[in-house]
Amino acid sequence: MPTPPGHRAALLESAIRLFRKQGYAATGLNEILKESGAPKGSLYHYFPHGKAQIGVMAVRAAGKKVAETLETLAIEADGPGSLLIRYCGALAGWMRQSDFHDGCPITTTLLETVPADDAIREAGETAFAAWAAIIAAKAESVGIPAHRAGPLSRLAVAAIEGALIQCRLARSEEPLRETAEELARMLDAAAG
């Protein structure tokens, strides 16, 4: 009997949710199966290399979702500062909705697996680079030179990831809001 295609997506979405909430190491395959509602055979059908493969796919999927969100917000934003304020506002809303239990599934997974797992590391590196490239493109669109836009965008990604951790610790969205405002000022100043 073939495995329904919805099981793959359900397994991946469950893994992303669980990694975001409790981390990669604390999440077992049985827990992913239980939350997804998928039969055990589908896990090994879609992810024959087990949890490590799920980790790679979860980082890629979450990275793609963030990139799509940034691209959508970039269309509406008048500059990189506005983009970051909108994005951090959305993140703050998601953090508040989870009562500050959820974090970034990419960062959590990377912290627990790198440097031991090169495939997960590469997936994370690709995701962070894609996010920074979207911010850099917006920065360049307002006149920030490429040699400044790249480092500033990577700094923005790093600062936002740090702010997410601080939000969970403080159980407050204020670290994200402060980070967005400071990054916006910095990028606006770089644009002249």
Average pLDDT over residues 66-73: 98
pLDDT tens-digit readout, 140-173:
999 999 999 999 999 999 999 999 999 999 999 9
What's the CATH number for 57-191? 1.10.357.10
Flag whether pLDDT at 1 surpasses 50. Answer: no
CA distances for 25 relative to 37, 65, 108, 169, 176, angstroms: 21, 22, 9, 20, 26
CA distances for 115 relative to 112, 120, 141, 182, angstroms: 9, 9, 36, 31
Instruction: Name the band, by pLDDT with cuts 50, 70 and 90, for residue 2.
Output: very low
Q: What is the pLDDT of residue 4?
A: 54
Q: What's the chain's length in residues? A: 192
Instruction: Name the band, by pLDDT with cuts 50, 70 and 90, for residue 103.
Output: confident
Q: What is the pLDDT of residue 192?
A: 81
Instruction: Name the band, by pLDDT with cuts 50, 70 and 90, for residue 105.
Output: confident
Average pLDDT over residues 177-188: 97
Domain ranges (residues) in the chain: 57-191
Instruction: Name the band, by pLDDT with cuts 50, 70 and 90, for residue 96.
Output: very high
